[in-house]
Amino acid sequence: MPPLILASTSRYRQELLTRLRLPFEAVAPEVDETPLAGEVPAALAERLALAKARAVASLHPHAVVIGSDQVADLDGEPLGKPGSHEAARAQLQRMSGREVVFQTAVAVVAPGLAAIERAEVRVRLRPLSDREIETYLLADQPYDCAGSAKVESLGIALLDAVVSDDPTALIGLPLIRTCQLLRRAGLEPLA
């Protein structure tokens, strides 16, 4: 079996990939994540997922490399990781009572293969008071999450609905699509 590498330092993606019970190594992809001028969120997620996988595959040419990226899309505008309490508060205030589409792309690069899939997750936030936002941010500190909310934690209390055909996509790695791509690369999680 060729080595499996996750081109990511995200603990969320690493935790998700462990569910497949395949041995893997995580390697930082060293990719500039700055959006291109006029780049829409779905295209940004796909470009970055493939760039991450290719960057690590160039260093490990015999490996199967997974790259993934997620971009929160609010009316066509990409929302990244807030990085600070103030930025997270501003994001959640903008998203309050609205639908946000999370575009999560996964790419697999292996000898003879470079493939990408994207999962779309529609999230409807309930109307949030400033007090609720502040309480949530102090409790969960989601400053490293696109859209400023951890659905796998207390962030679920911010939501009215989540709609997706690949539920782990919201956490950052769409495992259904990842399995499909791994099979194309010759790795079967159930083997």
Residue 141 DSSP label: -
How confident is the model over 61-110, as pLDDT tens digits? 999 999 999 999 999 999 888 999 999 999 999 999 999 999 999 999 99
Task: Provide the pLDDT for residue 1.
Answer: 86
Q: Clarify whether 69 is annotated catalytic.
A: yes
pLDDT for 107 equals 98
Kindly state the DSSP code that residue 123 receives in the 8-state scheme: E
pLDDT confidence tier of residue 165, bands split at 50, 70 and 90: very high
**Domains observed in the chain:** 4-184 (3.90.950.10)
- For the four alpha carbons of 17, 8, 59 and 49, in that order, the dihedral sign comes to positive
pTM: 0.92
Question: d(Cα 146, Cα 72) in Å, to the nearest integer?
Answer: 6
Task: Kindly state the average pLDDT of the residues 103-128.
Answer: 97
Tokens of 69: 């990226």
Under the banding of pLDDT at 50, 70 and 90, the label for residue 190 is very high
Greater model confidence, 145 or 60: 60
- Among 32, 69, 73, 166, the one annotated catalytic: 69
